[in-house]
Each structure stands twice: as C-alpha cells, then as structure tokens.
C-alpha cells in the first residue's frame, strides 16, 4: 500500500493527477489544502476509491506546514511519494505570506523546501520513495536578483512566478544530489500551458479579448498537464531530472548553475529558519 502526500490537488490539473493515481494504485492519500469543503464537494461529486486523509495546511505558513507534518506522522510511519504541486501566481502588487515573505516565493519554493525536509524521515522509511516538484518552461524567463530574492524593490508578478519555477528546478537538482546515496529520488516536470484557473490569472489583461481562442487552440487539457506527473510516480530509476511529455528535457543555463543553487539553498535556510540535517 503506497502512502502519497500531495499538495495542489483541489484545483487545476492537480485534480486530474490525484484521480489518475486513484484509478491505478492501491494507496492512502494525504491531501494538504486550505479548503476542506471544496475537497469534500469534489469527492462527493466524483468519489475516490482509496483512503483519503485531508490535512488542513496553509502553505504560506511554516507553522501550518509543521502542524500538517505532525498530523501525517501521527497517522503513518512512511511516505512513498511527496508531490509538491501547489503554486500561485501573485497579484500585480506584492502580497505577503503569513510569515511576511513574498507570497509567490513562499508558496512555490519555500513551502516545498520545508515540507520535503520535514517529511524526509518518513520518505527515508520507504523502500523506494520519490519527491516530485511541479516546475515550468517559464523558468527560462527568470530574472533573479541575488540581493533581493523577494523582489521587494521591483516586484512583478510574472517575474516572481518565473523565478519561482527556476527555483523549483534548482531545488530539485540540489536535493537530488544530497539524497544520492539514499533510496529517495527527486524529479520535477513542466506540465505545459494548461487550461487551469491560474492560466486566466496569468494571461495578459490587455489580451483578454483573445483568451477564449488561446484556451481552445494553445492550452492543453488538465489531464494532459497531469500526464508527466503521473509518469514520474512509476518509481523510475532517475533522480535530479526535469521532464516534459514524459521525457527528459534540457533546462536553462541558470538552472544548471551551482553558485545560484547554493545561493538559493542559503536563502531558503535564512527565510525559513529550517536546515536539512
């Protein structure tokens, strides 16, 4: 029986992801989210066959993440898959997390950093565990400021999102290296341009008139967006990879930078107060 922890399973292609896993696995799911009613309504409309534990968790709060981890530890002594799928595209003006950190950075990078680290003992207790992070092709558009990771001096929602997806890849590769002598693999993937609520939020407001056409012609269906994530739950003998359409893909030069990776790790430690043992 597999034990699967997943974030971002109540909207977007994360819904398709959990339903596809439910169809093909005997598993216990730990669904981390803010809106239990929304999840219950979803399951009532389309039931899941496996056991589900909904864990209340606000990913913009380290306190909430810690409580969620403790709740998981009270139910199980191992985790086979950790799926870090939740993500945000911020409003045009900077917004802050409950820990007073820029929201995009907090949810898209720091939450997976803390959640993965705190769940490592349970992942290491599995015979063959995997961490899967949702990244994006937009990582190649990142414009980072080594002196201002939160972009407080020049905030731009698109830049914050692109930077966070670069960080997802850097985090994946760094953690994979750290865990290379364990049975825990770490990979990430690009779901592509997916027809989700985030797409409408991210689409340029000046081009709203063509958005319906863009959705129909360019965006892929949510089940297609989830496809590579499902593929990565097949215990592949690969770690530190970046995938799209179930195949390894090249990453940008920045995503291969050891110095930027070290900087990100140091900043993640500083902002969260959490260090991997």
Domain ranges of the chain: 2-192+226-272
CATH number of the domain at 2-192+226-272, please? 3.40.50.720
What span, in angstroms and rounded, lies between the C-alpha atoms of 177 and 175? 5
Q: Is the confidence at residue 91, as pLDDT, over 70?
A: yes
Per-residue pLDDT band for 221 (boundaries 50, 70, 90) equals confident
Percent of the chain residues topping a pLDDT of 90:
83
Q: Is the confidence at residue 203, as pLDDT, over 60?
A: no
| Structure-derived torsion over alpha carbons of residues 14, 237, 80, 87, reported in degrees to the nearest 10 | -30
Residue 99: both structure tokens together: 């820990």
pTM above 0.85, yes or no: yes
Q: What is the mean pLDDT of residues 215-232?
A: 80
Per-residue pLDDT band for 65 (boundaries 50, 70, 90) equals very high
Residue 149: both structure tokens together: 């990771």
Q: What is the mean pLDDT of residues 74-80?
A: 98
Of 68, 70, 71, 42, nearest to 57 by C-alpha is 68
Per-residue pLDDT band for 223 (boundaries 50, 70, 90) equals confident
Residue 196: both structure tokens together: 């989700």
Tens-digit pLDDT profile for residues 93-147 = 999 999 999 999 999 999 999 999 999 999 999 999 999 999 999 999 999 999 9
């Amino acid at each position: 029986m597999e034990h699967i922890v997943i974030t971002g399973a109540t909207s977007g292609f994360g819904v398709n992801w959990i339903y596809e896993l439910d169809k093909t696995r005997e598993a216990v799911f730990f669904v981390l989210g803010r809106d239990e009613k929304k999840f219950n309504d979803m399951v009532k409309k389309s039931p899941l066959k496996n056991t589900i534990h909904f864990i209340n968790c606000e990913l913009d709060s380290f306190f909430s993440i810690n409580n969620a981890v403790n709740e998981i530890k009270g139910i199980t002594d191992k985790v086979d898959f950790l799926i870090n799928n939740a993500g945000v595209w911020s409003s045009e003006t900077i917004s802050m997390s409950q820990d007073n950190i820029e929201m995009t950075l907090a949810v898209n990078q720091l939450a997976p950093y803390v959640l993965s680290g705190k769940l490592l003992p349970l992942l290491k207790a599995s015979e063959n565990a995997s961490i899967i992070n949702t990244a994006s092709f937009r990582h190649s558009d990142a414009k980072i400021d080594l002196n201002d990771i939160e972009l407080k001096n020049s905030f731009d929602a698109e830049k914050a999102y692109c930077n966070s997806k670069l960080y997802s890849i850097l985090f994946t590769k760094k953690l994979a290296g750290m865990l290379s002598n364990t049975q825990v693999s770490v990979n990430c993937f690009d779901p592509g341009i997916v027809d989700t609520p985030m797409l409408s939020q991210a689409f340029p407001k000046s081009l709203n008139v063509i958005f319906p056409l863009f959705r129909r012609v360019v965006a892929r269906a949510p089940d297609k967006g989830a496809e590579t994530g499902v593929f990565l739950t097949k215990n592949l003998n690969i770690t530190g990879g970046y995938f799209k359409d179930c195949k390894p893909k090249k990453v940008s030069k920045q995503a291969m930078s050891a110095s930027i990776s070290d900087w990100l790790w140091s900043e993640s430690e500083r902002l969260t107060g959490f260090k991997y043992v």
